[in-house]
Amino acid sequence: MLLYLINKEIKLELRNKYALGGIFLYVIATVYTSYLSFKNIIHPATWNALFWIILLFASINAISKSFVQDSNGRQLYYYTMLKPQTVILSKMVYNAILMTFMSLLCFVFYSVFINYLVQNLAMFLLVLLMGSIGFSSILTMVSAIAAKTNGNFSMMAILSFPMLIPFLITLIKVSKLAVDGIDNSVCYPYLLVLLLINIIVVGLSYILFPYLWQD
């Protein structure tokens, strides 16, 4: 059932192409704006921080519509047919896939236009993957909460920032290590923290979403 729902999300997304295209265009436009503003960044810390900030806002933009796009009728249909846990997990997995593609695209464009400074590519890609999964699980749950307030975008940002900032700071720290080509063993404790936050968010969402859902 979980796979079926994920499949449905992907099909739905591919069907109205403007949403998916909009997200990718948002990323590309932001990177290009940064390129025009900064031209070329040679300082690794700045390069790294800017990359993650672009990705942060792109993620908020991409995921904020997760629960808004389902019409009331469809939600009622889910409500009678499915366990709420299945719904939240399917959305999280789908968003994680979407975010992974988006962050890879963002990385490629960012490298082409602004600069490529990564020395430990494998670790950087791992961090990128962890970041995508983390952003998607945090933002999916927050978007479920924000949808209850008739889904305005500023509410999404206000509610998600306290959760995202520590996650983002840890991400920036560990990806800076990867950019500088520091040995993998130094990165592991940070990856562990990212994993911990991820597990907590997914676990809490799994427990609490049923309460959120009943209307």
Partner 1 sequence: MANLKWWKIAAIVLVLYAIIAGLLMPVPKLPILHESIRNLYFHVTMWFAMIIILLVSLVYGIKYLSGGKQYHDIVSSEAAKVGILLGLMGTTTGSLWANNTWGAWWVNDAKLNGAAISLLFYFAYLILRSALPDEDKRARVSAIYNIFAFTMMLVFIGVLPRMTDSLHPGNGGNPGFGGYDLDGTMKLIFYPAIIGWSLLAVWILNLRVGYKVLLEKIQNN
Instruction: Single out the residue of 152, 49, 54, 139 nearest to residue 98, CA to CA.
Output: 139
CA distance 77 to 177: 47
Tell me which residues in 51-80 interact with partner 1 (CB under 8 A): none
Minimum CB–partner distance for residue 204 and partner 1 (Å) = 6
Write out the two tokens for 76: 């009622």
3-class SS of residue 64 = coil
Tell me which residues in 168-207 interact with partner 1 (CB under 8 A): 169-170, 189-190, 193, 196-197, 200-201, 204
Work out which of 161, 184, 188, 195 binds partner 1, going by CB under 8 A: 161
CA distance 146 to 154: 9
With helix as H, strand as E and coil as C, how does 157-177 read? HHHHHHHHHHHHHHHHHHHHH
- Cβ proximity to partner 1: between 28 and 151 the closer is 151
Stretch that binds partner 1, among 38-46, 68-76, 77-85, 156-164 (CB under 8 A): 156-164
Angle formed at CA 13 by CA 212 and CA 83, multiple of 5 degrees: 30
- Cβ proximity to partner 1: between 10 and 163 the closer is 163
| CB neighbourhood size of 182 (10 A) | 15
CA distance 132 to 56: 10
Query: Going residue by residue from 102 to 141, which x/- string records binding to partner 1, judged by CB under 8 A?
Result: ---------------------------------------x
Q: Contacts with partner 1: how many residues (CB under 8 A)?
A: 26
Residues that bind partner 1 (CB under 8 A): 141, 145, 148-149, 155, 158-159, 161-163, 165-166, 169-170, 189-190, 193, 196-197, 200-201, 204, 208, 211-212, 215
